[in-house]
Chains A and B, each alone.
Chain A
């Protein structure tokens, strides 16, 4: 089934540890995004990639890094986790075709708790 796969589904992480959240899509979408979801704040964009080989910073990029080596994969890395990074992380993708086809596909999320 076409879509986005995120791993792990949940993780408890000690502060100071490094962690990579994985995101893979099989729809050949050009653009991919990482959001974090926090109660009352909705979804906030962390990083994005409009096409393989390019990335950009979103609204809340500090403490996170991404890479886009190919079309399908867009991992998010926390170099040294802090408790404020406790959140639910969603990966999303979209095709960059005609605007009428505009629409994000979301993954099922990764629930991360930093202790």
Chain B
């Protein structure tokens, strides 16, 4: 079965700092990869997704993620965070053999200090 690991459970940054959140998955075949964001008190929203093609994917609000197949990784980045980026971030994977199912990582709580 596929699994997703997010190694950083809590991250605290100051505004304008750069962000990188790690995501690793365990599945050797074709994967579809996602990052979701959950702002306080809200439901999950899609930040970006990767299906194929350019491994550097750009999403909303200045976020991007890079798929590195050899490292089974899909790390999320943002050059300069804002206070409004305070949220929980989830990496998710759909493996080729899993039908419609998404497997989520444990999440990373980001706090941005003003």
In the complex the two chains form, is A45's CB within 8 Å of B44's CB? no
Closest to A43 in B: B104
Main secondary structure of the interface of B (DSSP, over half): loop
Interface presence of A53 (CB below 8 A):
no
In the complex the two chains form, is B100's CB within 8 Å of A31's CB? yes
Closest to A95 in B: B100
In the complex the two chains form, is A48's CB within 8 Å of B9's CB? no
Which residue from A50, A96, A99, A106 sits with its C-beta under 8 Å from B43?
A106
Nearest-Cβ distance from residue B21 to partner chain A, whole angstroms: 13
Which residue from A41, A45, A90, A102 sits with its C-beta under 8 Å from B106?
A41
In the complex the two chains form, is B49's CB within 8 Å of A42's CB? no
Interface residues as binary, B1-26 with A (CB distance below 8 Å gives 1, 0 otherwise): 00010100100000000000000000
Nearest-Cβ distance from residue A17 to partner chain B, whole angstroms: 26
Which residue from B45, B90, B100 sits with its C-beta under 8 Å from A42?
B90
Closest to A40 in B: B106
Q: Chain A contact residues (Cβ within 8 angstroms of B): what range?
A: 20 to 34
Interface presence of B94 (CB below 8 A):
yes
Q: Which residues of the other chain, A, contact B45 by a CB distance below 8 angstroms?
A: 106
Closest to A30 in B: B100
CA of A43 to CA of B103 in the docked complex: distance in angstroms?
Answer: 8
Q: If A42-B90, A107-B43 touch, does A99 touch B100 (CB 8 Å cutoff)? A: no
Q: Which residues of the other chain, A, contact B100 by a CB distance below 8 angstroms?
A: 31, 48, 50, 94, 96
Binding site for B on A (CB under 8 A): 31, 35, 40-45, 48, 50, 58, 90, 92, 94, 96, 99-100, 102-104, 106-109
Binding site for A on B (CB under 8 A): 4, 6, 9, 32, 42-46, 49, 51, 90, 94, 99-107
